[in-house]
A and B are shown apart, each in its own frame.
Chain A
């Protein structure tokens, strides 16, 4: 089954605006992680939120987790052109990560 389905899949914003992405999943998880991927490159780990946490911050990133709704959101504040990338959520089910479809974010300078 498909875990971690992000919505929306494509987002185009002006530099300085905030970008919000959502992710839903279907089964119980240990934690949920967000990754960034620049075109044709590997993944960069952004932030991890454990199943018993509700919100976490890291710099300009804010992640929320609602285990009752099985959903998470990633907020990038004050976006920059360098934030242009694909963003994936991944659910950790103990022995593997299941990746969502990904959000393509384009930040226009």
Chain B
């Protein structure tokens, strides 16, 4: 149980285009999903927290107009990187948390590697 998937697992796009990354909780309802960014050999940096049916809460320094997050259902959240630039190339990881279970754990997806050329 508690499986989180991400799609795509990797994507290459041209500078100026937009890329959408999906995060799905496969066997539980995720009331909250988190999006992280990880540069090579570095730690995870929280980008935003999204609660189902409401607007995402972005961390300081994260551009909400550039990183669009939608959490329209209890099993799906999407991150859209708009007008991507090479500096947006990174490993994006989502996680899901079901507060209804009183569990403190977050279940992580396998990550999406984005390369912007």
| Cross-chain pair count, CB within 8 angstroms | 51
A30: Cβ under 8 A from any B Cβ:
yes
| Contact residues in A for B45 (Cβ distance below 8 Å) | 99
Q: Quick one: CB contact mask for A80-109 with B, threshold 8 Å, 1 for yes?
A: 000000001000100111111110100000
| Contact residues in A for B43 (Cβ distance below 8 Å) | 88, 99-102
Q: Which of A22-53 contact B (CB under 8 A)?
A: 30-31, 33, 35, 40-45, 48
Complex-state Cα separation, A31 to B102, whole angstroms: 13
* Cβ-neighbour of B108 out of A42, A48, A92 (below 8 A): A42
Q: Report if A42-B104 is in contact (Cβ < 8 Å); known contacts: A96-B46, A97-B46, A101-B42.
A: no
> Which of B6, B46, B104, B113 has the most chain A CB atoms inside 10 A of its CB?
B104
Contact B105 A33 (CB under 8 A): yes
Main secondary structure of the interface of B (DSSP, over half): strand
Q: Report if A41-B110 is in contact (Cβ < 8 Å); known contacts: A88-B43, A95-B49, A96-B46.
A: yes
How many chain B residues touch the partner (CB < 8 A)?
23
Complex-state Cα separation, A15 to B45, whole angstroms: 32
Within the complex, the shortest CB–CB distance from B102 to chain A, in Å, comes to 12
Main secondary structure of the interface of A (DSSP, over half): strand
Pairs A-B, 5 closest by C-beta atoms = A42-B110, A43-B108, A42-B108, A99-B44, A99-B43
B: residues with CB less than 8 A from A are 4, 6, 34, 36, 41-46, 49, 91, 93, 95, 104-111, 113
10 contacts between A and B (CB under 8 A): A33-B104, A35-B108, A42-B110, A45-B107, A48-B105, A97-B95, A98-B46, A99-B43, A99-B44, A102-B43
Apart from the given pairs A43-B44, A97-B106, 10 other A-B contacts in the complex at a CB distance below 8 Å: A40-B113, A41-B110, A41-B111, A45-B105, A92-B104, A96-B46, A97-B46, A98-B46, A99-B46, A102-B43
